[in-house]
Every structure is written in C-alpha cells, then in structure tokens.
Structure 1
C-alpha cells in the first residue's frame, strides 16, 4: 500500500489548483483533518498555471485526452454497434452534452466489421481508464456532432461538393475516411502532450494509449490504401494540415508524390511521428484555423475542462 503522504505528494505534483487537489483527495477518501492543510497550498504544483500560453497540469491534460476519447468512442460505438456510450460513462465535471448523428455501418466485409468492433472496444476502455484515473475530477462528455461536422470537414477538404452531405456511417469506404480524420490526430495529440506530463505513472499510461492509437491509425491507413481510397484520403490529410494553424507540415496522405507508392506511416525525416499541441488539435476538431475559438465542428459547445480555447 502507498502511504498517504506519498499519495498526497503525487496529487500535489499532478494538480494545478487547490480545488483540483481537494477533488482528488475527496475521491480517494483522504480529505480529513490532518491530511489536507496549509501544506498543500504554495507547492510547486500550485505555481503551475492552466493557461493557453503557459504550463498545464496533468489533470488538465488527462481531461483534454478524455474529451478526445469521448469523440472517438462515440464514433466507433455507433459504427460497430449502432449505439453510443452508456449514460454512466458520460457524467462528470462541466456540461454534459448529447450526441448528434451516428448509426451502425452496413459492413460488407466481416474483417472490416471485426476491426471496427475491436477499435470500438479499445476506445471504450480508454474512456473508462481515464475516467477512473481522474476520479471525480473527470469531465463529462461534451456535446458531440457526428453528422454536420463530417459534412463540413468533407466539403472543406474537397471530398464532396457544396450542397452534398457526407455520412461516415453510410458504407465501409465512408467509415474508413471518417476514421482517418480522427486517428492520425490522436497519435499526434498524445505525442505532443507527453513532454507536459509530470507524473510518471500518467506518462506511462499515456504512452500505452498512444501506442494503441498508432496501431489503429496503421490499420485504417492500410485499409484505405488497399481499397484504392488514396485520392479522398490525401485531400482530408491536406485539409487537416491546413487547419492546425502551423506553417510546418504535420500531416501526410497515404501515397507518396504523384505515384501510387504507399505511405502508411506518416513521419518526419528521422522517421519520428509528428507532435501537435492542444491548440493545434483544437483547430482540427473545431474545424477552424481561427484563434480564440471555443467551439465548433465535432464539439458544437466546445470541450469540457481548462483546455478548450484555440
């Protein structure tokens, strides 16, 4: 068993504010006389500021990840099983929202259906894990749009024309394109957040989730290439790259140059995966390159938690 003093120290190092620390301690049954006092205030962790231009706490980072996992879990749950997350998995801090759109994909290939079900189960497990790690500090599922958001993204990328709609649940091809929009973002988001995580246990867990997201991205990219969907996939990659707000390219399609040679692993010149900051990720999921955006795209009311503004 960990000593209470060690647990309190871990909470101090991974929380930004006194309120966060008290929330953690309450959830662990440690908020009592003699355990929480003036010693928790004024620590190094208390000096860390959750601001768009400054350091962020481990709690804020994990909650940002949880917002993204809610989106992926809802997408894959609807695609594989025809329903979203259980209501008990959507509660928490902030405003709980509903999910617009989503239905079961009429898979023709048994293999692709199995892939979708496995990824859905992984994303559900990620939501459960992060909620458990955060305890009562976990944010609620924000409002999620799985309908108009995909149409807006597809139109912006040039995959469909103005006035047309894009339903990622309509067939296997559209499902794979929809999945592609998320997967590479998840990989770059977790890699970008890794240097900010102070608690080593949280860092190891984040690395484990990053590895799983990379496996998912590899599966999706391979299936897209195998199904001759390079043209729309590359359009989505280019649009995503233009949205993240940086002049440095952090995205790659699934083919190289003008030919049809596969590019299944997007990396820099050193074969290292790209990193995105939470601001860059927000630009993509809000479907806007504007600064100061607090909502849009897949999150019509914005994310829950501290990290929600571009």
Structure 2
C-alpha cells in the first residue's frame, strides 16, 4: 500500500483494510452464484464464525442490546427508564447505572422518545432478566476517549446537548442491527425468521434516522473539541472494527471512495459492504464491542457484569459470574 493510502486509512479510522475474514467472504461471493449463497456457510477464521445455538438462545442474546437501547433512549428523552413503563419486562434485573434526561431540542427529543417506546416493544420478544447496564456519562467518556485515542478535555458527556447525545446513539443501535443480520441465516424456525425480519427493519430505521441526523451536521465542530461530527463517527466506527477483530464491518459518515457505494462516492449515509449489503456480526464480535474490551470473555463497557443468556454467559472468563 502506498504511503498516501496509509494516511487516508488512518484518517478515517480503518486500521485493518483487509483481513482473512473479509477476504474469504469476498472470494466466496465471486465464486458461488447468489442462489447457492443462502445455503453456503463461509469458511472464515474461528473467532469470526457463526456459533452453534438454538433460536431461543439467539433471541436471548439479542435482548441484551434491546435492553441497552431501551434504557438509553427512555432516559435520554424522558429521564426515566423501562421500570417506569413496563417493569415486568426487566424480570427482576438491576436498574441501569447513570441514565438521565438529556438536554435535547424538541425534534430530537421526539425522535428519541419514539425510539424508546419501540424498544419497549422489542423487549417483549425476549425472556432474560435485564443485565446490569452502564449508560453513565463516565462510561461514554471512556468510550469516546478510546475512540479518539486520547483523553478528551472536558470528558465527553452525551447528556449535555443534542449533538453529543446523537453521537452516543450512533455508538449503540448499529451493533444490534449487525447482530440481526448475522443471526438471520442461522435461525431454524420460520416464526423466528419472521420475528427477526420485523426487529431488523426497525433497528435499521433507527440507525438510518440517526446517521441522517448526524450527516446534516457533518462538518460542525463538536463543542468544545476541535473534532467534527464526521470525524467522531469515523473514530467510533474505527474503534468498533478494532474491537470486533473481524475486519471492516462499520463505517463512518464519510469514507474513502473505495469503501463508498459502487466505489463512486465518499458519502456514506448508510453503512454497507462493497455490494451495498448490511454487514453481519457474530455474538462474539458484538460482545467484544459492547464490553469495550475486545474480548468476549471479559465484561465491561455497557455491561460491567456481562450480558445475560446462555450465549453470553458461556463466554465469561470468571466462573463466579456465569450463573443467572
């Protein structure tokens, strides 16, 4: 790779332009006709492969992300969480850490309020206790410090204003979207596939609304930092690719042309692969990202004591945390 390309890659936060995972899947795409791809499982590195699990386990895993989204949206818009609306859905799980009402304008508050109500509905599809969730400004500050590569001064506070809150929103629903894309081919029952199709449609819509909101403000500096909205999205996406450890599956709002739709544009309102298809992620990739540790066996980040359900608990490194 030429030196100029290296600088461009670093600028946009994509530190791993090609990995065995992305290469093997790309080769399969060209070797097999599309009608055979639906029944073909790519031969990718073990830490990026789909896992063995039944449909219920997959839904239980996904509910961890639905809990996270519900609490962050409801608190951000209304200053109260799931317990104020449908407490039985938490199944006795602990309340979240640090959620509070964000300083939002009228339009943004209405959008996030709707997102929150949607997530209440999504949580009716699961069956696990709510895990301990950290949506405190301190946790987001650590995440954004890690994305930036240094400690922001003052610490990033998502509840401070609409732009910071929407950047924090950018950091959450897309991972759940990736998870549904990744789990769909593994589902066995028609009813499960039908349910995931419905969930995925709304998650994709939330992500599109969020990205479009931020795209309009792309060149604005996020006060008081000398960093634009676009630069923050590229940093967050770059960090998630790094933590996920399975190549580029996340892209900011402006990308190098070789990552844009049909390699013809740097605009990237919707994140998609070279064929404009949504990126999939496996449970282990998702845990590495939401734990913010890069290790599915080590909880942290949004889930300081780990996510719930059989899939997540089997990855935990500490036997004392495994019981539900």
Give the shorter-chain TM-score range.
0.7 to 0.9
Distance in 2 separating the partners of 1:214 and 1:221 = 11
Q: Give the count of matched residue pairs.
A: 246
Instruction: Indicate the residue corresponding to 1:300 in structure 2.
Output: 304
Instruction: Indicate the residue corresponding to 2:287 in structure 1.
Output: 282
Q: CA deviation at 1:159?
A: 7.4
Distance in 2 separating the partners of 1:304 and 1:163 = 34
Max Rg structure: 1
Aligned Cα RMSD in Å? 2.1
Report the CA distance shift for 1:277/1:53 in structure 2 as closer, same or farther (over 3 A).
closer
Instruction: Indicate the residue corresponding to 2:222 in structure 1.
Output: none
Q: CA deviation at 1:167?
A: 2.0
Instruction: Indicate the residue corresponding to 1:84 in structure 2.
Output: 81
Instruction: Indicate the residue corresponding to 2:19 in structure 1.
Output: none
Instruction: Indicate the residue corresponding to 1:143 in structure 2.
Output: 132
Distance in 2 separating the partners of 1:54 and 1:101 = 33
Counterpart of 1:267 (choices 243, 261, 272) is 272
Instruction: Indicate the residue corresponding to 1:49 in structure 2.
Output: none
**1:210 has 2:209 as partner:** no
Report the CA distance shift for 1:299/1:232 in structure 2 as closer, same or farther (over 3 A).
same
Distance in 1 separating the partners of 2:191 and 2:96 = 32
Contact 1:159 1:232 in 2 (8 A): no
Q: CA deviation at 1:120?
A: 1.1
Post-superposition Cα deviations, 1:268-291, rounded to whole Å, max 9, x if no partner, equal 111111000000000000001135
Distance in 2 separating the partners of 1:117 and 1:273 = 26
Instruction: Indicate the residue corresponding to 1:186 in structure 2.
Output: 176
The structure 1 segments of at least 4 consecutive aligned residues displaced by more than 6 Å after TM superposition are none
User: Structure 1: any 5+ residue segments left out of the alignment?
Assistant: 1-51, 132-137
Contact 1:255 1:262 in 2 (8 A): yes
Instruction: Indicate the residue corresponding to 1:168 in structure 2.
Output: 158
TM-score (structure 2 length as normaliser): 0.72
Q: CA deviation at 1:168?
A: 1.4
**1:237 has 2:237 as partner:** yes
Contact 1:159 1:236 in 2 (8 A): no
